Structure 1
Amino acid sequence: MKSYICLCFLFLIAFSTMAQNEILNLWETIPNHKHTAENEGVEIKDVKRVFLTKTPTIEVFLPSKRSLNGKAVLICPGGGYRYLAYDWEGTDVAKWLNSKGIAAFVLKSRLPLSKSLITPHEAPLQDAQRAIRLLRANADKWHINPNKIGVIGFSAGGHLASTLGTQFDAPNSFKEQSMDTISARPDFVALIYPVITMQDDFTHKGSQTNLLGSNPDDALKARFSNELQVTKDTPPTFLVHAGDDMVVPVENSLKLYNALKINGIKTEMHIYPYGSHGFGLAIGQGYLESWTNRFYDWLMEF
């Protein structure tokens, strides 16, 4: 009997180990970094929040090989550039994407409040660029199409995703490795109640302060106001926002939509009358929950 119990226990341990998702460090040598005694923090209440990311990573979520359709999505959780809502706008979304046959990768990017950063506002984009490059470099391993890799971002994660979509070719300020020569342009961008502008009229003040500092100059605000950074090379974009969002005004999405339209970028936008801010997958929230269906329908065109 004891040997049977031990065998079952060992089986459970083995199964648990097999069930763990692969987590990959983005960098061998982290750029824009200095050593401090600062530690990464995790708070688990209604949502798992990650603070002061020390080592940026991607967590890999793959559907079964039979379900894979070749598409992949990098997920950027929100949190006002103060923390990452890692499960609510990260792993939960990854599991939903897996149910649709889509490979998903949750980005744990560095956060600009960290004292371990040399130039804080550059770190999130550096990590997002590197993550896309890492996905393309490992496309064969994960059975994904390197030309069908996109990004989805929520709230401040939407700002990071839109920065990647408009500034994917931003030059590196560090010594490049071969990985850094791979294109960081996402093939499509999805932005859910995103922070887009850093201009004072409609920005989310917390995101602006956390990313750019308490008194950013006009040039820095313009650089990270992504409605001003759209070009003909910006990827096709999908936008979702609630009209009653009092945290990140809907004008953020409206401004970006207008800029995308002017530049001839294929764009789809859904403005729901309710939902406020931070609704995630909107499970149980009436027809707001249908935004994921709209996104999936749009995504199937790529």
Structure 2
Amino acid sequence: MSRTFLNLCAYFVMLIGFSQNEIIPLWNGDIPNSQKSADKEVILSTDATRISLVQTPTLEVFLPTKKSNTGRAIIICPGGGYHNVVYDWEGTDIAKWFNSKGIAAFVLKYRLPNTKSVKVSFEAPLQDAQRALRIVRSQSEKWQINPNKIGVMGFSAGGHVASTLGTQFNNPNKFKETTIDSISARPDFMILVYPVVTMKLDYTHKGSRLSLLGEHPSEALINQYSNELQVTQNTPPTFIVHSGDDTAVPVENSLNFYKALKDKGVKTEIHIYPEGGHGYSLALGKGYLQTWTDRLYDWLQSL
């Protein structure tokens, strides 16, 4: 076997090693609010990678080069109607965009309420989001992140996960806490893209509501997870993008959330595009809709 061939093999192994991102389990040992079941995690790769019946929630780490690092970080919650997690389309693709701007990104694979492995369906996504932010904040020095510049971002149902964290970050835990649970789970800023916000029937995404709350939720539960009702003066500054012709998640989710933020004096910016529908991620090739990331970058620079 020639030395040249061996050198090439070593080079490609090195490239593969550099391309692998760190993936961190959210929970050490037993996962809270979980139980044994026959469910197995399913990964389906077609036009996008969709993960359903999530069993082990994780964070995948995407870091910018040290030379371009701004010290800012974002936790990304992909959508999927609380039925699956569209992991690359609204997750890893977005993380790479943030890295190009010098921002560390963490893609959250959160537990979904439709697996039998979750005891209380509506509690699991927020528990995972709280833990994700606490992990990033607790290890900020390792990743050269400013612990006061960590945001959360969500698409569609992932926007509901993100807006629940942004409005209910200090919800008390119902499990035995460890040291990390004393760290603040409040995001320093929030980005919502065609988000599910309300659980009220007039404007909710019915599939997300059914998966999260079940067929006959109480009025109290509906109100608790209608995040436009949970905004306080301590809700973080928020950037919102939606399309007026979104037939899956009505634009009123964003409009009503914007009004609630404005009424509480929370710094917020909203961009409503006349066309775009739903689920467009970076909106590449979709005319001036694809400039929404430029508006986001401008907003991030203003924080």
Same fold per superposition (TM over 0.5): yes
Aligned to 2:201: 200
Aligned to 2:20: 20
Distance 2:166 2:15 in 1: 39
2:7 is matched with which residue?
Answer: 7
Deviation at 1:250, TM superposition (A): 0.3
SS at match of 1:24: strand
The equivalences for 1:73-112 within 5 A come to 73-112=74-113
| d(CA) in 1 for partners of 2:58, 2:211 | 21
CA distance in 1, matches of 2:7, 2:163: 50
Q: Distance in 2 between matches of 1:77 and 1:295?
A: 17
Structure 1 position 193, deviation (Å): 0.2
SS in 2 for 1:141: coil
Alpha-carbon distance in structure 2 between the residues aligned to 1:19 and 1:190: 27
Equivalent residue for 2:249? 248
Q: Which residue of 2 aligns with 1:190?
A: 191
In the alignment, what sits opposite 2:298? 297
SS in 2 for 1:142: coil
1:139 aligned counterpart, secondary structure:
coil
Please state if 1:288 is matched with 2:289.
Answer: yes
- Could you report, residue by residue, the CA deviation over 1:94-123 in whole angstroms, capped at 9, with x for unpaired residues? 000000000000000000001101111100
Partner of 1:224: 225
Provide, for residues 105-145 of structure 1, a one-character-per-residue CA deviation record: whole Å limited to 9, x for no partner: 00000000011011111000000000000000010000010
Cα distance in structure 2, aligned partners of 1:43 and 1:246: 25
After superposition, the C-alpha distances for 1:243-285 in whole angstroms (9 at most, x for unaligned) are 0000000000011011111100001000000000001000111
CA RMSD of aligned residues (A): 0.9
Structure 2, unaligned stretches of length 5 or more? none
Quick one: distance in 1 between partners of 2:153 and 2:249? Answer: 17
DSSP 3-state at the match of 1:158:
helix
Tell me how far 1:63 sits from its aligned partner: 0.7
Per-residue deviation at 1:288?
0.4
In the alignment, the residues of structure 1 paired with residue 297 and residue 178 of structure 2 have an alpha-carbon distance, to the nearest angstrom, of: 35
Match of 1:221, SS state, is helix
**Aligned partner letter, 2:256:** K
Question: In the alignment, what sits opposite 1:265?
Answer: 266
Secondary structure in structure 1 of the residue aligned to 2:4: helix
Name whichever of 3-12 and 206-215 sits farther off: 3-12
Paired letter, 1:6: L
Match of 1:236 in 2: 237
- Separation in 1, partners of 2:11, 2:165: 43
The whole-number CA distance in structure 1 between the counterparts of 2:124 and 2:14 is 37
Q: Which amino acid aligns with 1:53?
A: V
2: CA distance between counterparts of 1:179 and 1:37?
A: 30
- 1:149 is matched with 150
Aligned-partner SS, 2:184: coil
With 15-24 and 271-280 compared, the bigger mean Cα shift is at 15-24
SS of 1:160's equivalent in the other structure is helix
Q: Provide Cα deviations, 1:191-241, integer angstroms capped at 9, x if missing partner.
A: 000000000100000000001111111111110000000011100111100
Question: Could you tell me how far apart the structure 2 residues matched to 1:123 and 1:286 are?
Answer: 37
Q: How far apart, in 1, do the equivalents of 2:2 and 2:90 lie? A: 44
Cα drift, residue 18 of structure 1: 2.6
Specify the alignment match of 1:175 in structure 2. 176
What letter is aligned with 2:19? A
Question: What is the percentage of aligned positions where both structures have the same residue?
Answer: 60
For residues 284 and 75 of structure 2, the distance between their equivalents in structure 1, rounded to whole angstroms, comes to: 21
Please tell me the residue identity of whatever aligns with 2:152: V
CA displacement at 1:66 relative to structure 2:
0.2
Alignment of 1:120-159 (within 5 A): 120-159=121-160
Aligned length: 302
Counterpart of 2:16 in structure 1: which amino acid?
A: S
Give the structure 2 partner of residue 66 of structure 1: 67
- Report the Cα distance in structure 2 between the residues aligned to 1:42 and 1:103, rounded to whole angstroms: 25
How high is the TM-score relative to the length of structure 2? 0.98
Letter of the structure 2 residue corresponding to residue 26 of structure 1: L
CA apart distance, 1:10: 3.1
Find the aligned partners of 2:296 and 2:269 in 1 and give their Cα distance.
Answer: 9
Amino acid at match of 1:77: P
User: CA–CA distance in 1 between the matches of 2:300 and 2:71?
Assistant: 12
TM-score (norm 1): 0.98
Q: CA deviation at 1:6?
A: 3.1
| Inter-partner Cα distance in structure 1 for 2:181 and 2:94 | 27
